[in-house]
Amino acid sequence: MPQASPTRPSYVIDEMISAKSIAARVEELAREITRHFEGTDKLVVVGLLRGSFVFIADLVRELDLPVEVDFLEASSYGDRMESAREVRILKDLTGEISGRDVLVVEDIVDTGFTLSHVIRMLRARGPSRLEICALLDKPSRREVDIKAGWTGFVIPDEFVVGYGIDYAQRNRNLPHIGKVRFPE
């Protein structure tokens, strides 16, 4: 793999999903989620940091429900492109979810290890309903049987960045989803 210079990364990012397509899909997801949770007194939306922060911000603004937002940070990647399959909880929820309706918002479901670990942990806390919404899904990489109730986009096995998703803490600020490519 080529080495990055201090001023320029050694990879190229090709746009995969436009900012306009993302915005339209987020609106659709919010309508579906609003219908599903209609009548709830307060939905707890749990964002999995760090990759979901842009998605969760856009999604909760589109929900026509009373919401509480909390965050959980779990890591199995670090600065690598492959999961270490060892999930660490770096930041836990600050609020209580027992007896509450909970929507977990994830940036990407890849192998499923991290999300599966988080869902088991949250289920043990006794929410009345626990659902998952993922911006991206890579079913070809799934190693753990887990599925989101709502998915923004199904993508092929590509390493992606943008719209909150990073590679070694870079490119979260891109308004679109891009595929990382390492030129020869």
Q: Name the residues annotated as catalytic.
A: 110
Q: How far is CA 96 from CA 44, 72, 104, in A?
A: 9, 12, 14
Helix or strand run (H / E) with residue 105:
strand 101-109
Which residues, 6 or more positions from 13, have their beta carbon under 8 angstroms from its beta carbon?
161, 162, 171, 174, 178, 179, 180, 181
Any bridge partners for residue 17, and if so which? 177
Q: What single-letter amino acid sits at 126?
A: G
**DSSP-assigned states of every residue in 36-97:** HTTT-S-EEEEEEETTTHHHHHHHHHH--S-EEEEEEEEES-TTSSS--S--EEEE--SS--
> Helix axis angle, 19-36 relative to 53-62, nearest 10°?
60
